[in-house]
Amino acid sequence: MVTESTINQPIRWKWRAEALAYAAMESVLGLLPGSVVFKVGEALGDVAWHFMPKRRRVILRNLRIAFHGEYNLAELQRMARETTRRTAANLFATAHTARLSSTQIEEILTVENQDLIEKALSGAPGLVLLPPHMGNWEILSRMNRVFPQGHAIGAFYRPLNNPLMNARVVAQRQTDGTHLFSKRDSLHLVTGFLRDGGLVGILADQRVGRQGELVRFFGRLTRASPLPSLMVRRSKSEVLSISVITESPGKWRVCYHPVKPPLKTADCMAALEVAMRASPLDVFWFQERWKVYVNKRRTIREWLGPETPDQGKPHRALLWLAGAPLSWQLPESWVHGDVIYEVVLAEGQSRPSWLSGNEIVHTVPAVGGLRALQRAIAAIDLAAALPVDYILTYAATKPLSRAARREAIPLVSLATPA
């Protein structure tokens, strides 16, 4: 683990400055009413919206996948801006609620369908709780007094890079007796905690790497953490997902949702989807949840696994033939039943004879720099309801690589870049 003693002096000063700034902000926000803190966060989120174009694209891309066929583009764009405001407000609110007493927490938090958690604990030794990154999710570590009494409370956490801030956040999360587990802790330790009647919370909604299990999430094939399902089945515990919904500025509502058996990873993710749909604007959409991990040595077949007859919401990819050799075509190793390729040609370029004629074909300027390519990619991306997941080409030029990066779209170049 990185500690202050193992890092050079400039980094240590940076950590100290960050920790002091955070402590000062927390102190100031702790003096204000919760509703005021929330509204200040909303205002700052409105300002931030104009200065983070790449993050805006990620938020909108997530919403386009999650709610494909449910909202039109204009509605999704409004949702993207509103979720930025709401997320900023909820993040600011965490600095305020961290300083509140347990009694004050009860005043700003209401719990819906408490009977579900009581029923779950009546038939199993322990309980796994699955909240998404949603609303003021940090307040969940302060809920001990509203959980059924007589059960130890635990939660997984990811240590912050700044050890000074990490120590402060950990202390806050442990204020009401919550036991914290890290990813380094043995699974046997956690399952033992559950077998002894404990409740363990784990945020499992965000993306994972290649070690994840293939499931459909919001109808899109992706990878998800198998950890919640493993914990539940090994400890013979129950599992519920949780929504954290903003009721009004500075006040939240917690709602439990059942998970259908056999409590496998797909079942856990389906329950997380229900929780997130309860208030989409409260969800932290800032991380690209459906990102594909591909490169010239790791094909889409490796990422998406075996072919599946149920396409759900297919992946959309661009086969960039502009500037490619006439003989080059889509490699067989990059063909997958869950991926639909659209072809990109340069203006004036002849359509290759090997194309079936059923493909969607786009044209881009034959001569153009970075800005022209970026505009072309952005237009192609918005030309369909689902976003472009990646671009596959023979040999990417530097302008094409930079344009794809600015649009937050992975680019795979199979030959040495020009």
Q: Report phi then psi at 18, rounded to 5.
A: -65, -45
Q: Which two tokens stand for residue 266?
A: 């797909």
Task: State how far the Cα of 287 lies from the Cα of 290, in Å rounded to an integer.
Answer: 9
| Within a domain: 47 | yes
Distance of CA 157 to the CA centre of its chain: 15
pLDDT tens, residue by residue, 189-214:
999 999 999 999 999 999 998 889 99
Number of C-beta neighbours around residue 22 at 10 A: 16
Residues of the chain with pLDDT under 70: 1-8, 416-418
Q: Which two structure tokens, joined as six digits, stand for 197?
A: 């009647």
Co-location of 264 and 345 in the same domain: no
Question: 294 in a domain, yes or no?
Answer: no
Residue 222 shares a structural domain with residue 135: yes
CA distances from 344 to 134, 260, 314, 382, 391 (A): 38, 43, 19, 15, 10
What is the crossing angle of helices 73-97 and 34-49, to 10°?
Answer: 140
pLDDT, tens digit (0-9, with 9 covering 90-100), for 365-405: 987 789 999 999 999 999 999 999 999 999 999 999 999 99
In a domain, 330, yes or no: yes
Q: Classify residue 418: in a domain, yes or no.
A: no
Verify that 268 and 315 share a domain, yes or no.
Answer: no
Tell whether 26 and 160 lie within a shared domain: yes
Q: How far apart are CA 176 and CA 343, in angstroms?
A: 57
How far apart (Å, rounded) are the C-alpha atoms in residues 72 and 169? 40
What is the per-residue pLDDT for 418? 46
| Alpha-carbon gap, residue 245 to 115, rounded angstroms | 18
Residue pair 79/61 in contact by the 8 Å Cβ criterion: no
3-class state of residue 338 by DSSP: coil
Of 254, 282, 310, which residue constitutes the final position of a domain?
Answer: 282
* 276 and 305 fall within a common domain: no
Number of domains observed in the structure of the chain: 2
Confirm whether 356 is domain-assigned.
yes
Phi/psi at 230 (nearest 5 deg)? -60, -45
What 3 state SS string does 155-202 have?
Answer: EECCCCCCHHHHHHHHHHHCCCCCEEECCCCCHHHHHHHHHCCCEEEC
Same domain for 89 and 191, yes or no, is yes
pLDDT at residue 371, rounded to an integer: 94
Do 281 and 230 meet the contact criterion of CB atoms below 8 Å apart? no
Predicted pLDDT of residue 387:
98
Are residues 259 and 304 part of one domain? no
Cα angle: 45, vertex 46, 49; to 5 degrees = 85
**Nearest one of 21, 25, 11, 28 to 163, comparing CA atoms:** 11
Whole-angstrom distance, CA of residue 380 vs CA of residue 363: 9
Question: Do residue 210 and residue 350 come from a single domain?
Answer: no
Label residue 153 left, alpha or beta by phi (over 0 means left) and psi (-120 to 50 means alpha). Answer: beta
Residue at a domain's end among 282, 309, 325:
282
Q: Is residue 295 part of a domain?
A: no
Domain span including residue 314: 300-413
d(CA 305, CA 199): 34
165 in a domain, yes or no? Answer: yes
> Looking at residue 388, what is its pLDDT?
98
Nearest in space to 15 (alpha carbons), one of 25, 28, 2: 2
Token pair for 365:
């300027």
Any domain includes 327: yes
CA atoms of 241 and 232, how far apart (whole Å) = 13
Residues 14 and 84 in one domain: yes
Residues 101 and 60 in one domain: yes
The answer to whether residues 85 and 224 belong to one domain is: yes
- Last residue in a domain, options 256, 282, 308: 282
Here the CATH number for the domain that contains residue 367 is 3.40.50
Asked if 313 and 195 sit in the same domain, the reply is no
| Cross-strand partners of 254 | 111, 244
Q: How many other β-carbons are positioned within 10 Å of the β-carbon of residue 100?
A: 18
- Across 294-338, the runs of DSSP E, i.e. the strands, are 315-320
DSSP E strand boundaries for 218-337: 220-224, 238-248, 251-258, 315-320
